[in-house]
Amino acid sequence: MRECSGRLPRNGCYPAGMRQAILIMFMALVVAACHAEDAKKPLADARENLPRIASFSPALTATVVALGWGNALVGRTPWCASSAPIVGSFNDVDLETLARAKPTLIFIQQTRSGAPAQLEQVARAQNWRVEFIPATSLNDIRHLPAAVEKAVGFTAPVSPQRLVDALAKELARCEAAQKLSPAMLLYSSDPIGAFGADTYLAQAWCAMGGTLASSSNGNPNLSMEELFATRPKSIIVITGADNTGTQSQQALRLACANRSVALITVHAAQLLLPGPELTTGLQLLRKEIERFCNGANAPTPSPVTLEAAAPTRVLVSIDEREAAHMGNASSHSNPNSNPNSNLNLSQGANTP
């Protein structure tokens, strides 16, 4: 057999060095093609093997939906924004409906009380995996998308980092927050209920450059005297509904006017739920406080107004007996109250 020379002969014989280079290139193309096929497998596997999720936390349900896994939800509470079947609430699980839903993964918002014993027993018997994920502090909310993706075990259609970046944008320092500080953030004005320093919303306010008039933790109920004893420059009432004109609201408005304290009411239910919707809520909050500080006199468009509004009661504890510790009156003051909700506003709220 004739050896190939350094030049390419007319009969197509390649030099030895060129043959080796061609072989290397060919192998590289094969490896690249294999990697491309492997990259497609997680997406295909996710569609076929994605867990069937039942969530007992509105915050975790919202995160599942935001990550693009809404179709994987097979069970939820009455307060979750999803079309999945209702399988009861955290403290009142409908085990029969839950069993029919055939979940393989149960999401529960982490608390000191843990999961209901009956639910844990059924989950073990049915081989359902139970994941406890914290959603109390601002740092918890930052890590929520990644924690949910890790628990599901597949790459989410929507990148968790995308949700984190959107939240970070709304947490950027805001001159209006500084001007209105020190502030008291309220989730109710009848009775007066405040976001404590360890709650996610108070932490978000501080991240935006604001300061708090009180360093108390939890979600304390205050008298009018105790509220103004904190010497706030502004009082910001966060509500989930526009129910204006109550006597208590008028009293708060008058008290603020007499003390030259700014009173701003923001109708943004998104601020009352720790999860991805907090980003939208912070957008509304920033828009309103900036409008207020700029001295705009035009009527504020819905859903944000400057008039004091009757509050939507916000449950600060997952456990009914813990809710009673915060005050039985709060669970009866508004028909929209949901005493079985899995909503936690602060770590302090979970203290028995």
Is the pTM for the entire model greater than 0.75?
A: no
Q: If you ran DSSP here, which 8-state letter would residue 238 be given?
A: E
Confidence class for position 18, pLDDT limits 50, 70, 90 = low
Q: For the segment 258-282, what is each residue's pLDDT rounded down to a tens digit?
A: 999 999 999 999 999 899 999 999 9
Distance CA 309, CA 79 (A): 22
Whether the predicted pLDDT of 351 surpasses 50: no
The H-or-E segment that residue 221 falls in is strand 221-222
CA atoms within 13 A on the CB side of 261: 26
Q: Which residues pair with 131 in a beta bridge?
A: 107
Distance CA 61, CA 75 (A): 10
Whether the predicted pLDDT of 8 surpasses 60: no
* Higher pLDDT, residue 334 or 230: 230
Q: In what order do the strands lie in the sheet with 129-133?
A: 73-75, 53-55, 105-109, 129-133
* Higher pLDDT, residue 16 or 64: 64
* pLDDT at residue 143, as a whole number: 96
CA atoms within 13 A on the CB side of 314: 33
Whether the predicted pLDDT of 43 surpasses 80: no
Distance CA 57, CA 272 (A): 13
Range 160-164 average pLDDT: 97
* Higher pLDDT, residue 50 or 246: 50
CB 304 within 8 A of CB 266: yes
Which is it for strands 183-189 and 192-194: parallel, antiparallel or unpaired? antiparallel
Range 161-171 average pLDDT: 97
Q: At what angle do helices 138-152 and 58-66 cross, to 10 degrees?
A: 60
* Higher pLDDT, residue 170 or 31: 170
- Fold identical between 53-168 and 173-350? yes
* pLDDT at residue 21, as a whole number: 58
Q: How many secondary structure helices (H) and strands (E) does the chain include?
A: 13, 13
Residue type, 260: S
Note the residue count of the chain: 352
Average pLDDT, the chain: 78
Whether the predicted pLDDT of 12 surpasses 90: no
Instruction: Provide the CATH topology of domain 53-168.
Output: Rossmann fold (3.40.50)
Whether the predicted pLDDT of 214 surpasses 90: yes
Show the tokens assigned to 20. Answer: 């080796």
Candidates 271, 267, 249; CA nearest to 305 is 267
* pLDDT at residue 333, as a whole number: 36
Q: What is the largest distance, in Å, between two alpha-carbon atoms of the chain?
A: 107
CB 110 within 8 A of CB 134: yes
* pLDDT at residue 16, as a whole number: 60
Range 30-57 average pLDDT: 64
Q: For the segment 88-133, what is each residue's pLDDT rounded down to a tens digit?
A: 998 899 999 999 999 999 999 987 777 788 888 889 999 999 999 9
- CATH (residue range 173-350): 3.40.50.1980
Distance CA 53, CA 75 (A): 7
Dihedral sign from CA coordinates of 229, 283, 65, 137: negative
In our burial notation (b when 16+ CB lie closer than 10 A, e otherwise), range 264-302 reads bbbbbbbbbbbbbbbbebbebbbbbbebbbeeeeeebee
Candidates 284, 281, 222, 269; CA nearest to 248 is 222
Distance CA 171, CA 282 (A): 8
Whether the predicted pLDDT of 40 surpasses 50: no
Confidence class for position 299, pLDDT limits 50, 70, 90 = very low
CA atoms within 13 A on the CB side of 84: 31
* pLDDT at residue 91, as a whole number: 86
Range 273-295 average pLDDT: 94
Range 290-319 average pLDDT: 48
Backbone angles phi, psi at 14, to 5 degrees: -90, 145
Q: Which residues pair with 92 in a beta bridge?
A: 89
Backbone angles phi, psi at 332, to 5 degrees: -120, -5
- The full set of domain ranges for the chain reads 53-168, 173-350
Of 38-52, 60-74, 200-214, 338-352, the range with the lowest mean pLDDT is 338-352
Max mean pLDDT range (1-10, 122-131, 178-187, 335-344): 178-187
